[in-house]
Structure 1
Amino acid sequence: MLLLISHLKNLKAGLWDYNIDLDILECDATWHDLLGIGPGMMRSIADFRPFIFPDDVDRATAIDPESVNAMIELDEQYHVDFRVVRSDGQVRWWRSVASLIVDSHHHRRAIGCVTDTTDLHRGDLDPAPAAPPPPERVVPDIASRLSGREIECLRWVSIGKTAWETSRIVEISQRTVEFHLSNAARKLEAKNKVHAAVIAVRAGII
């Protein structure tokens, strides 16, 4: 397992926010860059489907209302691996992780991160695991709320790692990882650990 995630030190996370009830998709500049298209081109799932590898369209975009409601009720996170076809014709693997919430307008939303994991599928791996490097620009107020270990754990959440996988990578117990993630979510006023990771990515912390 550790060898399979060793290359993740160089990954960038692209943010997305999908309003399930209104079918409105908002993605940041990094998300668009990973797909090789200009910012603001994605406004709905229908806009995204042509960029998904044909065999993976259903897996990447299927929405079952009952499953969505159950995941919101149980505070479960969503994750999926699928292929995209960039604007230059390259086929790339993406991992998408998300938090499912109900917003202040009572709309169901999925808020998450995507990373390009093509090297994982090709076996192009680095010799030892390391967390992704910190960003160049950080929002000081939010950054000052979190400890270094909390930020480190959030980095791994942003690329789809479980608490157990993170514990193996950073060599602390799973319970300690969960403790750090719980503290980070509380400090960032997030609904859960994925939501906290999204806030941290948006703020430039990870």
Structure 2
Amino acid sequence: MNHFMLPRSHSKGRTAQQGIALITSLLILVIVTLVAVSMYRSFGLQEKITGNTLEKQRSLLAADSALRYAEWWINQGNTGTGSACAGVVNANTQANMKICSNALGMPAVLPWANRFEYKPPTMTVLGGGGLNTATSGVVGDVNYATVPSLYISYLGIGPDGKSMLYQVTGVGYGGSTTSASVVQSTYAMTYATKDLSGP
């Protein structure tokens, strides 16, 4: 009688293969987790950069609105060598505006002790900033933290002898007082005389 022996399955080799598969799976899981955490941090950083850029843009536009208002006001014929300016004045009332004979000391040190505050008609200002709610304006738009300010100082007569030079400075804030922009321009108001005696 012939006995045939069937080959035995080696459970030891099979267990070793299962162990390697488990270790490989765990390594892949660790790598995927590290990639996911890295992407999450990257997205968070990108979101902060975008938010800071948006705040910078808001404060710059607010400062520019104050600067343009001051230049428009000078262009309406409101010129002269100015007088001393002191305190905080509401510039939305044009009669309150004036040209200052004293220069603005340090424009980068905010808030200025002496300034004219100008709030554009469509701007919503609320201490603390944040987003508008249904009761405070356009939903989803930003509340500016502080009213933009401006300052106009007389610099003297221009090199041509016909222009009066003014330094116009504006400051604006974004949705918080930590985001501020200061802009300056030199504005020349030129007067020309026309000889009416000739042809």
Sort the TM-score into its range (normalised by shorter chain).
Answer: under 0.3
Q: Which has the larger Rg?
A: 2
**Which structure's residues are more often helix, by fraction?**
1
